[in-house]
Chains A and B, each alone.
Chain A
Amino acid sequence: MRLHKIDRDVGLFVITLLLLGGVALKFPDFITPRSLADLLDDTAILVLLALGQMLVLLTRAVDLSVAANLALTGMLVALLNQAHPGWGVLPVVILSPLIGALLGAFNGVLVWKLKIPSIVVTLGTLSVYRGAVYVASGGAWVNSNQMSESFLGFIRTQMLGLTVLSWLAVVGVILFALALRLSVTGRNFYAAGGNPGAATYAGIDVGWMQFLAFTASGAIAGLAGYLWVSRFAVAYTDVAQGFELQVIAACVIGGVSISGGVGTVAGVVLGALFLGIIKNALPLVGVSPFWQMAISGLVITIAVILNARGDHSSPRRILEEARP
């Protein structure tokens, strides 16, 4: 089983390399260090969000509200920065994950304490958070000239050839890999989703693990809110609309099982990079931007078919219920 999972990651790695190589064959500039650093910078937010989503998926739940959370937190910190440009970027970097964690914890409480299925909860909060962006901003945009220099500059600062944004993703990946492999809490996420009944008998509170997963996913989405708004230098109501599906797609391509308990950090990172490479390569190859959505849809569909082979849990639910 374990070997099989590692094989899967290696397979995805090879496919990703082939994709990269295929593009590079025609456009050698695509794999210069500069261009690869840009690719990482461009995919960093997706990588971070996919890590948070993976935690939630591991516990047999799903978080559809991440993009709305991102938009709301991004708008709130942009407004804060606009009102107090002198405060610098530090309060924003501290506040954005906190606000996001609060929004995520709200999802978590509803799933944990009221036992409402996570699809229903996050479908609801997705609408509420998105609407709240409009209420907070009055429908107005926060543009780059209303953002302070440090707010915009922080994530673009170069360190050892990579931007701070890219480093955040790298650090996030390392932290997740270590925590999920070595810490008891990390293993408990797998146990809670892999077999909720057994987990409960082993003394793991499955609902609490779901709450933690939603809070973590929310915190990441909040931080990603600042990152997104700063990177694209604009905050408005429709920021990252529909991005939650790309995040889930990255997880699914990376081999995270929607029925819980299965998934690796390496797989998720590769899944996100895979989508990122396609997104960046298509305009280069001369494909009209209008084709992008169809092609990523096709890739996602093929990936899920390949993933599903051998994963025959027939009496499944839409989402497996993580109740002992």
Chain B
Amino acid sequence: MSLSIEQLAADVRADREVHSARKRPFMRWEWLLLLVVLATFGLNSWASPYFLDPYTLSDLTYNFTEKAIVALPMALLIIAREIDISVAGIMALASVAMGMTAAAGYGLPAIVAMGVLAGLLCGALNGALVTLFKVPAIVATIGTMSLYRGIAYAVLGDKVLKAYPPDFAYFGQGYAFSLVSFELVLFLALALVSGIVLHFTVVGRRIVAIGSNPTAALFSGIRVERYRFWLFTLTGGAAGLASVLLTSRLGSTRPSIAVGWELDIITITILGGVSILGGKGSIVGVVLAALLMGLVTFGLGLLNVPGIVMSIVVGGLLIGVIALPILFRQMRAARRGT
């Protein structure tokens, strides 16, 4: 590996940025998100009389759980300075794999295993492209995104797979207890595990180290490429799992399943405070951002706003929530300067 003075200087600067970020009030971004979540919750209950109802609130969680389950490993991946744009494509391919397994007459465990396994394999291919062939992640996964969904289209064409056994419906439609869905419990459990891994284990600290300075991480003995590979594989596996949930909820597989979800998933991650430059981010932020996305889209849905108009709000939210604090800081700095 070649090291230039310039690269070193840039790395030192990046480290300084990370440290100065640490000095800011504890979890400032997360508090801001929490405020926005509460405000949106309040706004929803004020705008629609149907909102504050146990059944409505239970339904609401379906709006974000599947996407949020992929956003968790996506956060780890982006913290490690990588990204996966192919997650929605993986979901389509995993769904097709499950549909074919079901059509071949296999039982429930085989169907679910196939979905997750397909996801893991797709993720491993992404990881191999990035680590073995040294393709930048964004480019590699733009390619595999077309590849995975393309295979789904090639296999299915305009057909639909829906030979799923009745038990399969539990994953996407079942309730763990009373009104708490299986999806929500699964998401919360995975969020807890991701949070512990990222914030309290050596593995998590190493992921942050790789993201803040890969060169330094490598020189301190972290197997950087191995971490990258497994993070991609993990993200693929999570996409496979999300595909199990979504396919179960819809009860059928079409090649266009989850189209465009990669943007929603990445939006949740960025909105959650994960820095696209790597080395920074928290799972609490991602969970709050997922909740916020769910609240906003569900609230607008209650107000009969069409989905495509919601995308204006979601896109505006992404830019606004990131731009406003920067704008305020610049204005304050400018006032201090004059």
Binding site for B on A (CB under 8 A): 62, 110, 114-117, 119-121, 123-128, 130-135, 139, 195, 197, 237, 242, 245, 248-249, 252, 258-259, 288, 290-298, 300-301, 303-305, 307-309, 311-312, 314-319, 321
The answer to whether B316 has its CB under 8 Å from any CB of chain A is yes
A315 near B213: Cβ-Cβ < 8 Å: yes
Q: How many angstroms from the CA of A115 to the CA of B81 in the assembled complex? A: 18
> Smallest CB–CB gap between B239 and chain A, Å?
16
> Would A120 and B263 be within 8 Å (CB), given that A314-B215, A318-B78 are in contact?
no
Q: Which residues of A contact B214 (CB under 8 A)?
A: 314-316
Given A318-B78, A318-B81, verify A249-B142 contact (CB < 8 Å).
yes
Interface residue stretch chosen among B61-69, B128-136, B177-185, B243-251: B128-136
1/0 per position for B266-297, CB-CB distance to A under 8 A?
11001000001110000000000000000000
Task: Output the least CB separation between A235 and chain B (Å).
Answer: 15
Q: At the interface, is chain A mostly helix, strand, loop or mixed? A: helix
Contact of A135 with B312 at beta-carbon distance under 8 Å, contacts A116-B326, A301-B144, A316-B136 already known? yes
Q: Interface residues of B toward A: which range?
A: 35 or more
CB distance from B286 to the nearest CB of A (A): 15
Contacts of B316 in A (CB 8 A): 124, 127-128
Interface pairs (30), CB distance under 8 Å: A114-B327, A116-B326, A117-B276, A123-B266, A131-B308, A134-B306, A139-B306, A139-B308, A245-B142, A245-B146, A258-B139, A288-B154, A288-B157, A290-B154, A290-B156, A290-B158, A291-B153, A291-B154, A294-B154, A298-B147, A301-B143, A301-B144, A301-B147, A303-B143, A304-B139, A314-B215, A315-B213, A315-B214, A317-B278, A318-B138
B323 at interface by CB-CB < 8 Å: yes
CB of B308 within 8 A of CB of A134, answer yes
Tell me whether A314 and B315 are in contact (CB under 8 A): no
B266 surroundings in chain A (CB, below 8 A): 123
Contact B1 A127 (CB under 8 A): no
In the complex, whether B163 has a CB less than 8 A from a CB of chain A is: no
Q: Is the CB of B215 within 8 A of A125?
A: no
Q: Which of B1, B278, B318 contacts A123 (CB 8 A)?
A: B318
- A127 partner residues in chain B, CB cutoff 8 A: 263, 267, 311-312, 314-316, 318
A258 engages B138 (CB within 8 Å)? yes
Q: Do residues B142 and A300 form an inter-chain contact, with CB atoms below 8 A?
A: yes
Residues of A within 8 A of B218 (CB): 314
Whether B215 contacts A301 by the Cβ 8 Å rule is no
In the complex, what residue of chain A is closest to B275 when comparing beta carbons? A117
B residues bordering A, Cβ < 8 Å?
1, 6-7, 10-11, 78, 81-83, 129, 133-140, 142-151, 153-154, 156-158, 213-215, 218, 255, 260, 263, 266-267, 270, 276-278, 306, 308-316, 318-319, 322-323, 326-327, 330
Q: Which of B1, B142, B215 has the most chain A CB atoms inside 10 A of its CB? A: B142
CB distance from B203 to the nearest CB of A (A): 20
Closest-by-CB residue of A relative to B7 is A315
Give the complex CA separation of A135 and B319 in angstroms: 19
Residue among A123, A248, A297 facing the most chain B CB atoms (10 A cut-off): A297
**B-chain residues with CB within 8 Å of residue A298 when the two chains form the complex:** 147, 150
Partner of A120, one of B135, B310, B312, B322: B322
CA A218 to CA B104, docked complex, whole Å: 49
Known: A120-B318, A132-B312. 16 other contacts (CB 8 A): A116-B319, A117-B277, A120-B270, A125-B315, A131-B308, A135-B312, A237-B308, A259-B136, A288-B154, A293-B153, A294-B150, A298-B147, A305-B135, A312-B134, A318-B82, A319-B276
Q: Which residues of B contact A308 (CB under 8 A)?
A: 133-136, 139
Closest B residue to A324 by CB, please name it: B10
B198 to chain A, nearest CB (A): 18
Distance A295 CA – B150 CA, assembled complex (angstroms)? 7
Known: A249-B143, A290-B157. A258 touches B136 (CB 8 A): yes
Instruction: State A242–B145 Cα separation when bound (angstroms).
Output: 11
Pick the 3 closest A-B CB pairs, nearest first. A127-B315, A294-B150, A297-B146
How close is B320's CB to chain A, nearest CB, in angstroms? 8
B138 and A62 contacting across the interface, CB-CB below 8 Å: yes
* Residue numbers in B under 8 Å from A311 (CB-CB): 134
Give bound CA distance, A162 to B126, whole Å. Answer: 42
Give the CA-CA distance A115 to B158 in the complex, in Å. Answer: 44
- Taking a contact as CB atoms under 8 Å apart, the answer to whether A126 and B144 are in contact is no
Known: A62-B138, A304-B139. A126 touches B263 (CB 8 A): yes
Q: Which of B150, B157, B306, B312 contacts A297 (CB 8 A)?
A: B150
**A307 and B134 alpha carbons, distance in the complex (Å):** 10
Chain B residues contacting A133 (CB-CB under 8 Å) are 308
Docked complex Cα distance between A249 and B85 (Å): 13
Query: When chains A and B are docked, how far (Å) is the Cα of A114 from the Cα of B134?
Result: 31
The answer for the CA separation of A237 and B312 in the assembled complex, in Å, is: 13
